[in-house]
Amino acid sequence: MSFANYKSVIEQGDTVILYLSVNNMHAIKVEQRIKNKKNEMVENVFQTPYGALKVKSLIGQTFGSKVALSKGWAYVLHPTPELWTLTLPHRTQIIYTPDISIILFQLELKPGSVVLESGTGSGSLSHALIRCIKPHGHLYTFDFHAQRVEVARAEFEDHLVSEYVTVQQRDVCQTGFGPDVKGVADAVFLDLPHPWEAVPHAVEAMKEKGGRFVSFSPCIEQVQRTCEALAQQGFIELQTMECLQKELTVQTRAMSVLPLPDFSQPQHQQQPRGGGGGGVAGGERAAEGGEGGAREQCRFLTGVPPPSLPGHTGYLTAASLPPRWARTLRSPPQPLSA
Ligand SMILES: C[S@@+](CC[C@H](N)C(=O)[O-])C[C@H]1O[C@@H](n2cnc3c(N)ncnc32)[C@H](O)[C@@H]1O
């Protein structure tokens, strides 16, 4: 099993997604025996609210098939970056698929792109970046936390994508992205507490022809400082956006409306239409007497947005670095005034 290519039949060593419901999925490594807390090798049995799964029973099953649990059943799915984001072991805060989709689009990635990322964190975004740029592109991902680097590297090997990614332990704010990646990047992505400190290093890492930059920050003050640094370094087309997911619930709503005048009649003969019974597109009408003329009760099926939109994850700031020759012609911009 590889996150880069699909296959049909589950084998020993694969990572699979056990799907119990849309809100209950688990990533499982298909190993017949695992170590218990006492460090003894025991049979690998995965417990779910619908009973136990003997993990070895997955070997030979087809991805997408229904598998038996001791008190129910589940589906066993091929992993994808989206499913991995929902099931991965968290070492840090992670970026989720709605933001990831904007990041990939704004970085203008395609197969063959070279992209730099920092920090690696839990590798949620990294898996999506790899799928985008493979088979001829490369992801260089940096984190200053040694253990996170080690775990991410092991996961990339496990998921058979390590040929597309280089993981390095490095403080990119203090020491930049390093000599190996000078002038190689088509795109740079930052998910750091102080992204503005890494902006000059991003310029060094980008190709002579320039490239795209995106930074993810939860606070607007971080965005302000990053935008100042981007402007000072010659970036253009700065744009900050927020991805808010809006779920519409489908409901039948009732509304009391004054009937529309009948415009087919000359003005002095116009009567409000009423009296009920006339159907409207997608709804029903019934007449209602009362002061100010007959009103109509109109029932219609509609998508209702939530009253408020919680779920701020972060701001995404995107910018373009022009080619080097164009940058030298520009006079340095003034810093943004407070
Ligand atoms: C929020 S996490 C990134 C999560 C990641 N985008 C994901 O989707 O899984 C931020 C990471 O940046 C790393 N970090 C913070 N400052 C850094 C720096 N100056 N250089 C390199 N890594 C840094 C942290 O160790 C942490 O792992």
CATH number for the domain that contains residue 161: 3.40.50.150
pLDDT tens digits, one per residue of 253-301: 888 887 777 777 776 665 555 444 444 445 566 666 555 567 778 888 9
Rounded Cα–Cα distance for residues 274 and 289 (Å): 10
Rounded Cα–Cα distance for residues 127 and 108 (Å): 16
Q: Is residue 306 in a domain?
A: no
Sign of CA pseudo-dihedral 256, 262, 263, 266:
negative
Tell me what percent of the residues of the chain surpass a pLDDT of 90. Answer: 72
242 has pLDDT over 60: yes
Cα–Cα–Cα angle for 199, 129, 167, rounded to 5 degrees: 70
What count of other Cβ atoms lies within 10 Å of the Cβ of residue 225? 17
Q: What SS3 class is residue 243? A: coil
Q: Are residues 97 and 159 in the same domain?
A: yes
Tell me what percent of the residues of the chain surpass a pLDDT of 70. Answer: 89
Q: Are residues 238 and 116 in the same domain?
A: yes
Q: Which of 57, 79, 101 is the last residue of a domain?
A: 79
Q: Are residues 53 and 101 in the same domain?
A: no
Average pLDDT, the chain: 90
Averaged pLDDT for residues 142-148: 98
Q: Are residues 53 and 100 in the same domain?
A: no
What CATH number has the domain bearing residue 21? 3.10.330.20
User: Which of the listed residues 144, 177, 197, 313 should we mutate to test ligand 1's pocket, taking the one with most ligand atoms within 8 A of CB?
Assistant: 144
Better-predicted residue by pLDDT, 152 or 305: 152
Q: Are residues 140 and 196 in the same domain?
A: yes
> Which amino acid makes up residue 106?
Q
Q: Are residues 213 and 91 in the same domain?
A: yes
* pTM of structure: 0.84
Q: Is residue 180 in a domain?
A: yes
Q: Are 159 and 165 in contact (CB under 8 A)?
A: no
310 has pLDDT over 90: no
Is 143 close to ligand 1, i.e. is its CB under 6 Å away?
yes
Q: Are 156 and 167 in contact (CB under 8 A)?
A: yes
Q: Are residues 131 and 222 in the same domain?
A: yes
Distance in Å from the first CA to the final CA of the chain: 53
For 19, the domain range is 15-79
- Nearest ligand 1 atom to alpha carbon 198: 19
- Nearest ligand 1 atom to alpha carbon 88: 9
**Which H/E stretch holds residue 223?**
helix 220-232
Number of domains present in the structure of the chain: 2
Q: Is residue 221 in a domain?
A: yes
Whether ipTM > 0.95 holds is yes
Q: Name which of 231, 192, 242 is nearest 215 in CA terms.
A: 192
pLDDT tens digits, one per residue of 24-44: 999 999 998 888 889 889 899
103 has pLDDT over 50: yes
Q: Are residues 52 and 90 in the same domain?
A: no
